[in-house]
Amino acid sequence: MPLGDPSVVSNTLFSKDHPHYKWVALSNTTLGILMATINSSIVIISLPAIFTGIHINPLDSANVSYLLWILMGYLLVTAVLVVTFGRLGDMFGRVRIYNLGFVVFTIGSIALAFNPLDGGHGAMWLIVWRFVQGIGGAMLFSNSTAIITDAFPANRRGMALGINQVAAIAGSFIGLLIGGLLANLSWHVGTLDVEWVFLVSVPVGIIGTIWSYLSLHEVGAKAEGKMDWWGNALFAIGLASLLTAITYGIQPYGDSTEGWTNPWVLAGLIGGGVVLVIFVFVELALKSPMFEMRLFKIRAFSMAMLAGLLSSIGRGGMQFMLIIWLQGIWLPLHGVAYDQTPLMAGFAMLPITIGFLISGPLSGTISDRVGPRLFATTGLLVVAATFVLLIVLPIDFTYWQFALITFFNGIGSGMFAAPNRAAIMNSVPANMRGSASGMAGTVQNSGTSLSMGIFFSLLIAGLSTSLPKALFSGLTANSVPTQVATQISHLPPVSSVFAAFLGYNPMDTLLGKGGMNVLSSLPEAAQKTLVGNEFFPHLISGAFHDGLVVVFIAAAAMSVIAAVASLIRGKHYVHDVQAVAESIEAHEAEAVSS
């Protein structure tokens, strides 16, 4: 057969005309999303080891900003840029932007793995390159579902997007587990501090980059238009201001346990909100906007986006609360050393991921035939029920009860996530799929960032009313001088919460060399009690449960509201099919009238 014969090309697996090309596109984009979401949570558990490597105490008040930016910077950058890259994908090619995302993400991972700096400079190195990773992640997030939608017919998209969404949501939980396994694996090459927690993404990134450039092709419709510079600038400024203000709002300010009265935080919240309102009016006035506000006229799209936002906030809040619950209370009470709690917490939350893996692809496949409303709505109600069950679960629970509840939470989330994303992508015109994918990604990542500010604030507010008194009486009962006990009890609860969150022994952190430095002067029995596995968990249990009730009631309420939004989305809606049907009806009506 002569070289260049089209039949040769069409029969190769990596040809866009090959009957199995859609599976190549699905496997590659799922790998990209899995890598991006794993890296959104992988640093949560490995932060203590990372800060140890650059010789910084993350709980020192001067270093809390470093901690929060390494933790939140990736999510913030991804949330801000994902719509922009979705629009660029519509204009210049979704595969082109997606492939570039693999390259940028891999470069960021390499730079993070080999940190040449120490102290504050080392922390800034990590923050900057996490931003770069976030840019690559935004490119992957914004175009992966659009590429899948282009490759699969409408009657198979739910299944395909179900697999992709399972990877997206499960990746955040898998990241906790991988972070725990790799946290303490590092070595030094000269002045370089090499961290496995970042290095693990490098070979995956390289393989994914080569694979995507070899296998993916542009098969979707492009949208003609100019770059919306005003829209991009306003959106970036508004959302970045809002999310940055939330990040600083959970830090203490002056005599307050939180920073919501900080003038800069208020300016960010109000100013960011005003800029986003201006952004909406600017976008409505443009012919080729980056954020197609007119899509919200499609009820199937707008209700799915609202349900997705509320679900993302609730899921992020649950993940945050379960980490505190497991690492600060339950695991220590069951004999697990504090420095091992992050890893064990990752294992303890595996039932959630298993639930996703079971229900996501299955619900997506069935929803292709019956529509998304039944599965998405039922899934959200199941999630709401699990939040209520977590409220009535004892603080020192029996693990099988916790595993069963969180398993059904994963089942419910999987039932919702796959059909809902398929509904979003099916409801928009073919040439706007990149924008829709980016908008859905923004909603998901912004919801996670918002959940940190909302639920952390609710928890700290609950702890602030009862923890100081419990802390003072517990310390003085174990020979801690009254002056020291008073000083510690007046510290913002954020110190104790972050200590537990990061796998530190909170009492050792507050009383040891890194804190008041009085632990060694206390009687030996008092030392053992204070830094033992039971003192802090028993001390915080009552106050934590009060905060937990408020948080999970709020999460359950959001899930119910999301279920209502999902219920009223209307019947199964596929834009391309609907457009053809409407065109046929119009022609028939015209023929009859003539």
Packed helices 21-53 and 341-348: angle between N→C axes, nearest 10 degrees? 150
| Calpha distance 229→246 (Å, rounded) | 26
The pLDDT score that the predictor gives to residue 3 is 39
Handedness of CA 486, 488, 493, 496 (dihedral sign): negative
Q: What per-residue string of b and e applies to 295-334 under the rule 16 or more CB within 10 Å gives b?
A: beebebbbbbbbbbbbbbbbbbbbbbbbbbbbbbbbbbbe
Give long-range contacts, CB 8 A cutoff, 24+ apart: 265-273: 268/241, 268/242, 268/244, 269/241, 269/242, 269/245, 271/241, 272/237, 272/238, 272/239, 272/240, 272/241, 272/242, 272/243, 272/245, 273/238, 273/242
DSSP reduced 3-state for 449: helix
Contact of 301 with 425, CB cutoff 8 Å: no
Q: CB within 8 A of 325, min separation 6: which ones? A: 395, 544, 548
DSSP reduced 3-state for 572: coil
Contact of 450 with 245, CB cutoff 8 Å: no
Handedness of CA 501, 503, 505, 509 (dihedral sign): negative
With bands split at pLDDT 50, 70 and 90, how would you rate the model's confidence at 378? Answer: very high
Packed helices 21-53 and 494-502: angle between N→C axes, nearest 10 degrees? 120
* Residues recorded for the chain: 594
Residue 590 has pLDDT above 50, yes or no: no
| Calpha distance 143→90 (Å, rounded) | 9
The pLDDT score that the predictor gives to residue 399 is 95
Helix (H) or strand (E) holding 306: helix 299-325
| Calpha distance 322→466 (Å, rounded) | 20
Q: Regarding predicted confidence, which is higher, 283 or 278?
A: 278
DSSP reduced 3-state for 93: coil
Q: Regarding predicted confidence, which is higher, 23 or 196?
A: 23
| Calpha distance 164→157 (Å, rounded) | 10
Q: What global pTM score does this model have?
A: 0.80
Check residue 337 and report its DSSP letter: -
The pLDDT score that the predictor gives to residue 19 is 66
Contact of 375 with 416, CB cutoff 8 Å: yes
Q: CB within 8 A of 524, min separation 6: which ones? A: none
Nearest partner of 535 among 526, 543, 522, judged by Cα: 526
What are the two backbone dihedrals, phi and then psi, of residue 396, each rounded to the nearest 5 degrees?
-100, 75
Q: Across all residues in the chain, what is the average pLDDT?
A: 81
| Calpha distance 219→198 (Å, rounded) | 33
- pLDDT digit string, tens, across residues 139-153: 998 888 888 888 888
For 34, the token pair is 């899995």
| Calpha distance 467→342 (Å, rounded) | 23
Which residue has 């632990």 as its token pair?
519
Contact of 160 with 118, CB cutoff 8 Å: no
| Calpha distance 260→155 (Å, rounded) | 48
Pairing verdict, β 186-189 and 192-195 = antiparallel
Residue 591 has pLDDT above 70, yes or no: no
Mean pLDDT of the region 28-34: 89
Mean pLDDT of the region 63-91: 82
With bands split at pLDDT 50, 70 and 90, how would you rate the model's confidence at 303? Answer: very high
* Sheet (strand 186-189) strand order: 114-115, 192-195, 186-189
- pLDDT digit string, tens, across residues 185-227: 654 544 555 667 788 888 888 998 998 898 888 886 666 667 7
Q: Residue 363: what residue type?
A: S
With bands split at pLDDT 50, 70 and 90, how would you rate the model's confidence at 448? Answer: confident
